[in-house]
């Protein structure tokens, strides 16, 4: 997913069995594992539900086991039955436990005969946490309803009864019935020429974890961008998206040259409606992406580099638990940087890394100690909360350190061997370290001590010797910003004509939290940031201009907030307005008009922010 934003060695080499039971799943994989899912789904937009039938192929690990335990959340179970080799079925007794707020409801199925397959007939809830049903108002073209899933971290259980843990991988086949003229896409190879006949079939032949199970359906057009890639988006968006992502094939080829073959066949990108509250999601074969990266100059396509990189780190080699999620996100952010550097140059790659590093440096000291560790002590961090800047930025920073210490060629060869060794497996931090020690640390002695490795993985904060990339452009921007704020350089003399998106982000990030009003007005007069179509620049600009008291930007800020549903780019502007009673009243008026176009998660976040602001003002 694109970011929203010390032990002794003996303790490191724990056997896999020590991590067999995921604290965020009721599944008992040491008893039985699901190896294949056969899924029959019918889309019901009017009822906002899926009518489902899930047939699970079972690999019994314990010959004495008598129960199959699955994860569910808010599913209405109609029937459960066993299926023998000849297709004969028999009803099975089952019990659905009371709902746990985080984990959902444990489904225990009595299986004294340990059948080869179990079939569950069910319907989803309109409020399923992993499915979002958008009315036409929440789409770009506002013509047809739209539905998409977001299974990470533990939301697959809200639309399929399964073993919802990243440690358990399965293949799947799916058959989906949809309304005519609706295109369905899933996290499997998709056919860009598939007729819109309401009858879709998919087959994922590589074993994947449950959080990568994905589906979307709506008014989707397709543009092919290469021999194995295409862009899917609403008709009014697809042309712009195809232009922005025209380098997709080059990205795949670049990653293959570095880390070995792309093993998934096709790599397609689905651009979701504007209400999508996240940046991107690395669903196999079909990345789900925010439309906010479509700025026309490819300056934000690192999101695609990130999600593509997951095809090696995350989808191919998967963290076995949410506690180990840095193995997905940290390694991926490092690989993303390498793809970006190869295609768009060292300058952009280093600037993106520095923006992340500065954000983490600013935030990490205020985090709880356990949240500062790449591998937190078990049980103290919620599954969703594990996806923090620590996993992404500290994780990638650790790999940049390894690259610097051992040399790029040596580290590239190591990383390629790591992906090959653990391909299509789910692993723990300890398994990764047990491979790292003999194959890199011990193989090239004197480059990096094992104590340094442990400090990165199990220590709090950032190690003191962490390398920080140089950016002459950022250094120049620091000097110009200081001179501008001191009054010795006027806004129109800033050397900003050729600044890219990252450089504008850096300039704005470094302004005072409450800049002088005259400085804000001078920047806008010279560089016309109000009304920018670039959401990354716009979010930072409006936050500072509102804080400075420039009411002339309010209408443009309102347009930004209404147009964009991505939480990371919208919520800070609401927060800036909410710091004064007048601003809060204005933000509430904007929200009243924009609300119907927002994702439920965005609605919840804005309303929570308003409640806290009102409490402060009263």
Across the range 573-598, mean pLDDT stands at 96
Cβ–Cβ contacts within 10 Å for residue 367, how many? Answer: 16
**pLDDT at position 19, please?**
41
pLDDT > 70: what percent of the chain? 95
pLDDT digits (tens, 9 = 90+) for 182-199: 999 999 999 999 999 999
The CA radius of gyration of the chain, in Å to the nearest whole number, is 25
Residue 138 CA to residue 273 CA, distance in Å, equals 7
Q: What is the structure's pLDDT at 138?
A: 86
The pLDDT value given to residue 379 = 56
206 annotated among ligand-binding-site residues: no
CB 139 within 8 A of CB 158: no
Region 398-420: mean pLDDT is 98
36 known ligand binder: no
Residue 532: pLDDT band with limits 50, 70, 90: very high
- DSSP string for 89-135: EEE--EEEPPPBTTTBEEEEEE-TT--SEEEEEEE--TT-TTEEEE-
Q: Report the b/e string of 398-421 with b at 16+ CB within 10 A.
A: bbbbbbbbbeeebbbebbeebbee
What does the pLDDT average to over 30-48?
98
Q: Tell whether the model's pLDDT for residue 17 goes beyond 90.
A: no
Q: What is the mean pLDDT of residues 218-227?
A: 97
Among 194-208, 382-396, 429-443, the range scoring the smallest mean pLDDT is 382-396
Q: What is the pLDDT of residue 2?
A: 64
- Does the annotation place 588 within a ligand binding site? no
pLDDT digits (tens, 9 = 90+) for 331-374: 999 999 999 999 999 999 999 999 999 999 999 999 999 999 99
Give the per-residue pLDDT at 319: 97
pLDDT > 90: what percent of the chain?
89
Q: What is the pLDDT of residue 18?
A: 34
In the DSSP assignment, the letter for residue 440 is I
Q: Categorize the per-residue pLDDT at 277 as very low, low, confident or very high, splitting at 50, 70 and 90.
A: confident
**Which pLDDT score, from 0 to 100, does residue 252 have?**
97
Is the pLDDT at 223 greater than 50, yes or no? yes
**Tokens of residue 366, six digits:** 């205020």
Number of Cβ within a 10 Å radius of residue 599: 23
Domains of the chain, start order = 23-204 (2.60.40.1730), 220-317 (3.30.2010.30), 320-458 (1.10.390.10), 472-617 (1.25.40.320)
Is the pLDDT confidence value at 385 over 70? no
**Residues sharing a CB contact under 8 Å with residue 306, sequence separation 6 or more, in sequence order:** 2, 280, 282, 332, 333, 336
Question: Which of the residues are catalytic?
Answer: 307, 392
Question: Residue 10: what pLDDT?
Answer: 26
Q: Is the dihedral of CA 344, 347, 352, 356 positive or negative?
A: positive
> Nearest-5° angle of CA 566, CA 572, CA 575?
130
H helix or E strand, kind and range, residue 538: helix 535-548
Question: What are 430-487's pLDDT values in tens digits?
Answer: 999 999 999 999 999 999 999 999 999 999 999 998 999 999 999 999 999 999 999 9
**How much is the pTM?**
0.92
How confident is the model over 297-317, as a mean pLDDT? 94
pLDDT at residue 193, rounded to an integer: 95
The rounded mean pLDDT for the chain is 93
Residue 380 pLDDT exceeds 80: no
pLDDT higher than 70, residue 160: yes
**Which residues lie below 8 Å from residue 269, measured CB to CB, with a gap of 6+?**
229, 230, 231, 232, 241, 245, 248, 286, 287, 289, 304, 307
Cα 599 vs. chain centroid, distance in angstroms? 16
In sequence order, what are the beta bridge partners of 70? Answer: 107
The tokens describing 234, both together, are 């609403």
**Is residue 252 helix, strand or coil?**
helix
Chain centroid to CA 277 = 10
Instruction: Give CA–CA dist 322/379, Å, rounded.
Output: 10
For residue 17, the 8-state DSSP code is G
Secondary structure of 361-415 as H, E, C letters: HHHHHHCCHHHHCCCCCCCCCCCHHHCCHHHHHHHHHHHHHHHHHHCHHHHHHHH
Q: In Å, how far are 241, 313, 336 from 2, measured between CA atoms?
A: 18, 13, 10
**Rounded Cα gap, residues 200 and 197, in angstroms:** 8
Cβ-Cβ contacts under 8 Å for 264 (sequence gap 6 or more): 189, 206, 284, 285, 311, 315
């Amino acid at each position: 997913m694109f970011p929203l934003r010390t032990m002794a060695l003996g303790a490191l080499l724990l056997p896999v069995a020590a991590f067999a039971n995921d604290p965020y799943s009721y599944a008992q994989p040491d008893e039985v594992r699901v190896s294949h899912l056969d899924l029959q789904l019918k889309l019901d937009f009017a009822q906002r539900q899926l009518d489902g039938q899930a047939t699970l192929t079972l690999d019994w690990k314990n010959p004495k086991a008598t129960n199959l335990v699955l994860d569910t959340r808010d599913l209405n179970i109609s029937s459960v039955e066993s299926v023998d080799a000849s297709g004969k079925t028999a009803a099975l007794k089952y019990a659905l436990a009371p709902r746990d707020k985080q984990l959902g409801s444990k489904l225990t199925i009595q299986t004294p005969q340990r059948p080869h397959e179990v079939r569950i007939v069910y319907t989803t809830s309109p409020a399923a946490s992993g499915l979002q049903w958008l009315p036409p108002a929440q789409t770009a073209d506002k013509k047809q309803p739209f539905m998409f899933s977001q299974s990470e971290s533990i939301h697959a259980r809200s639309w399929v009864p399964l073993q919802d843990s990243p440690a358990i991988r399965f293949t799947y086949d799916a058959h989906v019935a949809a309304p005519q003229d609706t295109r369905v896409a899933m996290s499997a190879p998709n056919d860009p020429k598939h007729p819109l006949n309401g009858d879709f079939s998919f087959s994922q032949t590589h074993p994947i974890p449950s959080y990568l199970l994905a589906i979307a359906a709506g008014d989707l057009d397709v543009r092919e961008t290469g021999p194995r890639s295409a862009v899917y988006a609403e008709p009014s968006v697809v042309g712009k998206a195809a232009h922005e992502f025209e380098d997709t094939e080059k990205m795949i080829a670049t990653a293959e040259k570095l880390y070995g073959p792309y093993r998934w066949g096709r790599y397609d990108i689905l651009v979701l409606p504007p209400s999508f509250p996240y940046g991107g999601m690395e669903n196999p074969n079909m990345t789900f992406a925010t439309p906010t990266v479509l700025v026309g100059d490819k300056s934000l396509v690192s999101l695609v580099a990130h999600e593509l990189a997951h095809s090696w780190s995350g989808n191919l080699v998967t963290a076995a638990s949410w506690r180990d999620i840095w193995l997905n996100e940290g390694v991926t952010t490092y690989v993303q940087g390498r793809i970006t550097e190869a295609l768009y140059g060292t300058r952009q790659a280093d600037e993106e890394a520095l923006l992340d590093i500065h954000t983490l440096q600013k935030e990490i000291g205020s985090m709880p100690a356990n949240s500062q560790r790449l591998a937190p002590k078990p049980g103290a961090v919620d599954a969703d909360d594990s996806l923090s800047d620590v996993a992404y930025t500290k994780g990638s920073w650790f790999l940049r350190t390894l690259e610097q210490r051992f040399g790029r060629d040596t580290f590239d060869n190591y990383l390629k061997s790591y992906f090959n060794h653990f391909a299509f497996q789910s692993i723990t931090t300890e398994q990764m370290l047990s491979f790292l020690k003999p194959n890199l640390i011990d193989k090239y002695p004197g480059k990096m001590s094992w104590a340094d490795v442990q400090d990165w993985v199990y220590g709090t904060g950032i190690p003191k010797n962490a390398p920080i990339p140089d950016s002459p452009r950022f250094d120049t921007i620091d000097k110009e910003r200081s001179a501008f704020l001191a009054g010795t350089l006027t806004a129109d003399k800033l050397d900003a004509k050729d600044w890219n998106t990252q450089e504008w982000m850096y300039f704005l990030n470094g302004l005072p939290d409450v800049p002088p009003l005259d400085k804000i007005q001078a920047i806008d007069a010279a560089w016309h940031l109000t009304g920018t179509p670039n959401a990354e620049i716009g979010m930072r600009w409006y936050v500072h201009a509102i804080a400075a008291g420039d009411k002339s930007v309010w209408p443009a800020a309102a347009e930004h907030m209404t147009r964009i549903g991505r939480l990371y780019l919208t919520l800070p502007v609401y927060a800036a307005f909410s710091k004064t009673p007048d601003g809060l009243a204005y933000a509430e008026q904007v929200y009243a008009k924009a609300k119907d176009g927002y994702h439920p998660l965005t609605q919840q976040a804005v309303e929570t922010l308003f409640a806290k602001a009102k409490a402060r003002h009263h």
